[in-house]
Structures are given as C-alpha cells and as structure tokens.
Chains A and B, each alone.
Chain A
C-alpha cells in the first residue's frame, strides 16, 4: 500500500497517533448525566449482589474499544489517501499521463458519456495506481499541466480541471526523467509516438455532422455578399442536415441538405449581410455526436472604402491614383494644415510631422525625423533586386520600375523589404505594437512609379496592409503565431487573450471557437477560430492501430479510491456502535 498525501512513515505515524488518541479518549472518564432516583436502596441491592455477566457483556467494552480504534484509524487512513502499491518496478519512478485534448474527445458515445469523461476516468485510475510514484499530467493542447508530484490529490484535482481545447498539432509534452508515459486518446489526430508510450484508447465510433469550412465574402460592385460553407455527414447512414446562417440574430440563409454516409457538401449562400459583421453558421442533424463542430463563425468585412489622408504640397500622381481607387476615400491636406485625425491611413509625401502619428502611415521619401529615422547617402539609378517576401510587395513587378535616385533611409525598427543591388533600402516596413509604417525611400517624382503598373499595386498593398491587415483564413482553436506588432487580442467573450512575444513574433492561444479581434499598431483585424475539420469531425475514424483501439476495454471504469472505502467503513462502524450502544441493543 502507498500513501498519496504523505510519505509512508508519516502515514504510519498518523495511524498510530490516531489509534492512541482513540484509546485515550475511550478510557477518558466522561462525567455521566445525573439522574435523581427516590432512593438508592433498591439499586444498591441489585448492584451489590453478585450477578453473572453474559459473554457479550464481558466482551462488550473490548469490542467498543476495538470499534473506536478502528474508526479513528479508518479516518486517519482516508486522510493519507492510500492506494494499492503496484508491483511493476517501472511504476515506482516518474509517470507521465497525457490526455488528448482534441475537440473530438468531446464526442458523446453510446453510453451517453463523452470520450473525454472516459479519458478522465482512465487518468484517475492511472493516477491512483501510480503506487506512490511522481505523476505528471499533461494535455496535448496545454502541455504540462501539473506535477511531477507524488500528491495524488493534486494530480486528481488537475485531471478534473483540464478540458479539451484543441491543440491538434501542438508539440508533444516532454517531462524529464519519465519512466512510463500513458497517452489517453481517441486517435482522431495522428501522432508519431514513441514506442514506449502506452496508448489507452477511448475511441468508440460515433455518427456526426459538422461544418468543416466556413468563410464569408463581402459584397462587391457586381455581386452580393456570399457565405461559403462546407458540411459533412460522418454518419454510417444518409442524413438530412439543416443549415442555418445568421448575422446577429437574423437568419440570412437557410438550407436543408441531404448527404449520404461520409459525404461532404459545399454551399455558396448569397446573404444579405448589411454592413458585415459576425456571421454564424449552424448545422443540425439527428445523428450528431459532437456539438463543438456544429457551429462556425466568419467575419464579413465591411464594404466601406478605406479612409486615407494625404499630407502633401503636391499630391500629383498620388491624387490621380487614389481618385480612381473605389476602395479608398482620400482627403488632401498640406503639411501646414495637417492635424492628427481619424483616417485609417495617413500618407506623408516628402514630409513628416514632429511626433509619430497614431494611425498607420505610408511615408514617401521621408525627411529625417526623430521618431522615424535619418536620411542617408543618395544612390543613383538603383536596381530593385528581389528581397524578402512581404505582402506589401505582392504582385509588384520591379522590372517595370525605373528609379532615378534613392536616398538611403535608416531608422530603429524599420525593416527593409526591398533593396537596391547596392544595398540601399527601397521599401521599409515597421510592424510594431505602437506603430505600423511603410516607407518608400524614393519620391514618386524621382521615378517612373506614377506611370508603372507596379504603382497602384504597391500603394494598394501598402494601404491594405496598414489599414486592414489579414491574419489568415479561419483556423482551428489552438496556438496562433502573429506578428510582433499585435498589441492586444480580445476573445469571443470580450476577455483579453494573453499574448507572449519572442523575437519578431507574438504567440497566443485561441482556446475556444469564435471571433478574435486583433489590434496592432492602430489597425484592427479579425480572425475566426472554428472547431470543425475533416480530421476532428470524422468520429468514425481513428488513427490508432486495431490492437490499440481494442485497448478500449482496458480503459475500464476505475474503482473508487481507497480513502472513500475507509470513510465508508468508519461511518458504518460508527453507526453500528452508536446504534448498539445508545439503543442498548447488544448489552
């Protein structure tokens, strides 16, 4: 036997102390209640005459003493949290229990419980059977959650605390010095596992329907807004699915779709989405084991143009370009008239304000400024050479550009994304939490940019990158990598999501499905996290080998921990003792 709450010697001392205290209390003379009798005459007569005691009367006190000691010891034993000591030598070392936190673990199986509930039972059993070994608990989503610790109560509390949160492709948790690793999984996500890992399967096939993809496109000049939905029926029989798309609480599209077993359907639904916003798709079907993938969200961008303020004495070609861009509404001010406003992007043409702007900015041939950088040496006829890939330069054909001169520009936090063949920076970007900037080191007038096909592409890219950055399509909940400029992430429930930074990257965990608002350098973007995917939602499939899947039988219901039996025994003994003694049944 081992003790989960303390060392063995401490447990034995506690048990002995409990027994000693029980004996002391039993022998302690308690003042009995006073009962007035008319006379002691008859009592004396009875008590003074020799009376033959029955066998039970002779042993009754000893039995009571034994019962009292047993009750005390049982209660003390419960405190020590005893567990059977496993004879397996390996189990005496360090044990790592890894719970698969994939969303598919929330699937409800035929018994009515979820795969997760079954996994939790298995984890409890493994923790109880650890036989005094140090146990560590980890999930595939969160990594190490608790331990290593010999305190079974600590581990069991942690087991009850953790919840599935995705992490389908998170790295495998590693704990040093582990002798045995137990992985409790349904095998929905394939993993390369060390052969030493003991896999405990909680897989049981279940029918399911899911939204496996969802996105929304805003209305354009010639077409209404559309929602793209992929739904799948992972049941063994055909099902009629009911698909509903809503914006806020308004149903904007509704479909009834008949899908065969294992069949997927794709729908492009024209929606009257108004000014855009949160779009929710929901699917329902009779045989549906997983609720988490029945809903998906998408963000429909507003169709309104980007507001731009151009600060220039002579906007020239820039004004001509922006007037023709339906996606931009530009206002023009001279440097003298410039005041910080609410425009989404500011374009500074050969001029910079004294203080850094609060909004994202495109700077064309900027002069030296404290908050930006300094102008360096001039280079004549620079040749644009391909450099780092950046979305600002996407689609820009440098061969059509003819730059007569460029002045090297350098500043803290400015990252050159295009250089001349001699190394002079041509295009620089700053992507920080407090500012997002694009800097062109050459003036429009110093190049043929105004007439080159690359001009509208470059300016358009810059404005889009600055005003409405994209953080990619809808993704599964889990860890996300973002630019370091991300200053704040707000979750679906309005709470702030912690952001960790390392180098030029920021990291966050999107713990649940929904829309996340990402703020960076004065711009705002939205990323959608949806659970459904063919990998997660196909609950009839497992990546576990057949023999591993068969181990499901081994993930049986664990017995109750011993301490519950100890408490039960103490209770029963106390009740019996009370009943027989107080009710004078046995004496």
Chain B
C-alpha cells in the first residue's frame, strides 16, 4: 500500500497540532510549552534575584517600582514525546483496516514531525516490535512512510504483554496513541490500564470495519480465527448475525466507556470512512487534534 499523501493534504496537516491534555517535559527546544521555566519567549513569573543569576533577566522596571531586584522567568518550550502504537496483529490483517491504521499513524507522525515533536513508532502484537524514531522535522516523514509500508500484520494480540514490554524501559512520559481494533482475547482493559499507569496521556484510536460490525447472514460457514487458527462451524442466520452485531456494539461501547472512566481519549475510525474525514473532522471533534 502506498502511503504517500497529496501536497494539499500535507499542508492541511501542518496546521494541525497534536493535543496533549497534560504538559510533559521534553528534551529539546520546540514550540510546545513545558512544565519547567526556561528560555522561552512567553513570560511566566518573577522571582527574587540570587547570586549567580543572569543579569539579562533582571526586571529593571520592577526594581524602580519596588526597589527590589526581581528576575523575569519564562516558560520553557520543548518538544512532546509521542508514542504511536500501531496494532500489527493478525486481527488487523483485513486490508481495509490495516491500511486505515497505517494512514492514521502516518498522518499523526507527520503532524508531530512538523511541530518538532519526538515521535516514536511502535508496531505491536503480542510484543512491541522494532520501535522507530524517525527524528525531528517533517522531512523525515518519508522514512515513516517506508516503515509503515513494510509493516505486516502477523502474530496474536496481547495489549498487556506489549505495553508491559514497552514499560520495561525507562521512557519519558508523553502522549501514547494506540491504534488498534482492540480485539484482544485477554481483554483490552489490562493493557490500557497499564499504559495509563505509566504516566502517559493515552489516546485510543479504535479501528473497525464493516465485516467486524455486521458480518451479515453468511449461512453455513467455518470461521477461522485469524490470530489463533481456531475453527468453529456456525450457521450464521440473520438473527445470529444481528446478535453478533449487538455483541460488537457492546464491545465498542465497553471500550468507549472504559476510556471515559480512565480519562483516555477515544476516537473510532471506520475502515470504510474517508481517511481525510477521520483526520480533519473526527480527530478534531475528539479533541485530539486542533
């Protein structure tokens, strides 16, 4: 699948910002306000002068009024660590779903790179695959495209194991975006809880497809579990298909409620939905992008 975007669309992406509901400490100067005071352009506060402070930051006007030496403090503007988790398990093997997931990942990556954020791409299934940090600057997006194009859906899903492996290394806290169908046999809750507990601002992108939501009355079929290879003969009658549809709806609501309960961001991205619409409209409505 080619992930190249149109120039017009890239221009639109450049106007977007990834929103983090919390401020995180960055490593490099960027255009995102950090928690600590520093050498930014935006005035933050005053404090009393102490020996060794830089004279250039003494507020002489305040000295005239108050007859005290006060030092001007500025907000530090740093980059934001963005961890993009993309589900590459077999359950995502349906081309429409996987393509949509990779496009979304690519778009978010581009937005982050354009604003000098520190983006880390983490494909995962039962474990986290080779993580990639393309660097800084939007010129690096082509490397991201290549990586995503080479990505293949394989292996079973286990969010908990994958995020456990992710947390095994010391990492700077930041924004964690999980792009997945969340069809984890062990449930999505433990994994997402674990990720949130690591101090990251977690944002969930739920990839769905029509086949997942409404399989239709398929008749006598033998289902093959894409991840485990398990077989099950089922006569999919219209009523059974409707029951399945309800079960899927319940699963989706469960995920959405879970995210609400744990203050995780949630956006649903249907594979059949136009990609531009998801990025420019759905994500903005979900307050993930501004």
**A36 touches B (CB below 8 Å):** yes
Asked if A38 contacts B227 (CB within 8 A), the reply is yes
A44 to B248 alpha-carbon distance, docked (Å): 12
Cβ proximity bits B232-245 to A, threshold 8 Å, 1 near / 0 not: 11100111100110
Asked if B232 contacts A32 (CB within 8 A), the reply is no
Asked if A35 contacts B248 (CB within 8 A), the reply is no
Cβ proximity bits A553-587 to B, threshold 8 Å, 1 near / 0 not: 00000000000000000000000000001101001
**B253 touches A (CB below 8 Å):** no
Q: What's the interface size class on A, roughly?
A: 20 to 34
Asked if B185 contacts A39 (CB within 8 A), the reply is yes
Name the CB-closest residue of A to B233.
A32
Task: Please pick, from B237, B238, B248, the residue contacting A42 in the complex, using a CB distance under 8 A.
Answer: B248
Q: Give the distance to chain B from A254, nearest Cβ to Cβ, in Å.
A: 77
**A9 touches B (CB below 8 Å):** no
**B181 touches A (CB below 8 Å):** yes
Q: Which of B202-227 contact A (CB under 8 A)?
A: 211-212, 215, 217-227
Asked if A40 contacts B230 (CB within 8 A), the reply is yes
**A446 touches B (CB below 8 Å):** no
Asked if A38 contacts B94 (CB within 8 A), the reply is yes
| Majority SS at the chain A contact face | mixed
Asked if A51 contacts B220 (CB within 8 A), the reply is no
A41 to B254 alpha-carbon distance, docked (Å): 14
Task: Please pick, from B218, B225, B251, the residue contacting A40 in the complex, using a CB distance under 8 A.
Answer: B225
Q: Name the A residues within 8 Å of B97 (CB-CB).
A: 38
A517 to B211 alpha-carbon distance, docked (Å): 83
Asked if A32 contacts B221 (CB within 8 A), the reply is yes
Q: Name the B residues within 8 Å of A584 (CB-CB).
A: 217, 219, 237-238
A45 to B234 alpha-carbon distance, docked (Å): 13
Name the CB-closest residue of A to B227.
A39
**B183 touches A (CB below 8 Å):** yes
**A314 touches B (CB below 8 Å):** no
A35 to B223 alpha-carbon distance, docked (Å): 5
Asked if B237 contacts A40 (CB within 8 A), the reply is no
Asked if A46 contacts B240 (CB within 8 A), the reply is yes
Name the CB-closest residue of B to A584.
B217
Asked if A35 contacts B225 (CB within 8 A), the reply is no
Asked if B239 contacts A587 (CB within 8 A), the reply is yes
Q: A41-B183, A587-B239 are in contact. Are A35 and B92 (CB under 8 A)?
A: no
**A31 touches B (CB below 8 Å):** yes
**A55 touches B (CB below 8 Å):** no
Asked if B220 contacts A39 (CB within 8 A), the reply is no
Q: Name the A residues within 8 Å of B238 (CB-CB).
A: 584, 587
Q: A46-B240, A587-B237 are in contact. Are A40 and B247 (CB under 8 A)?
A: no
Task: Please pick, from A33, A41, A582, the residue contacting B222 in the complex, using a CB distance under 8 A.
Answer: A33
Q: Which of A533-562 contact B (CB under 8 A)?
A: none
A36 to B181 alpha-carbon distance, docked (Å): 16
A31 to B220 alpha-carbon distance, docked (Å): 9
Asked if A46 contacts B219 (CB within 8 A), the reply is no
Q: Name the A residues within 8 Å of B100 (CB-CB).
A: none
Q: Which of A291-335 contact B (CB under 8 A)?
A: none
Name the CB-closest residue of B to A581.
B219
Asked if B226 contacts A37 (CB within 8 A), the reply is yes
Q: Name the B residues within 8 Å of A34 (CB-CB).
A: 221-224
Asked if A43 contacts B232 (CB within 8 A), the reply is yes
Asked if A45 contacts B247 (CB within 8 A), the reply is yes
Q: Known pairs A42-B244, A57-B239, A584-B219. 7 more at Cβ < 8 A?
A: A38-B181, A39-B185, A40-B228, A42-B251, A45-B247, A51-B240, A587-B237
What residues make up the interface of A, taking CB atoms closer than 8 Å to B?
30-47, 51, 54, 57, 581-582, 584, 587
13 contacts between A and B (CB under 8 A): A32-B221, A32-B233, A33-B222, A35-B224, A37-B211, A38-B93, A38-B97, A38-B183, A38-B226, A39-B157, A41-B183, A41-B185, A42-B183
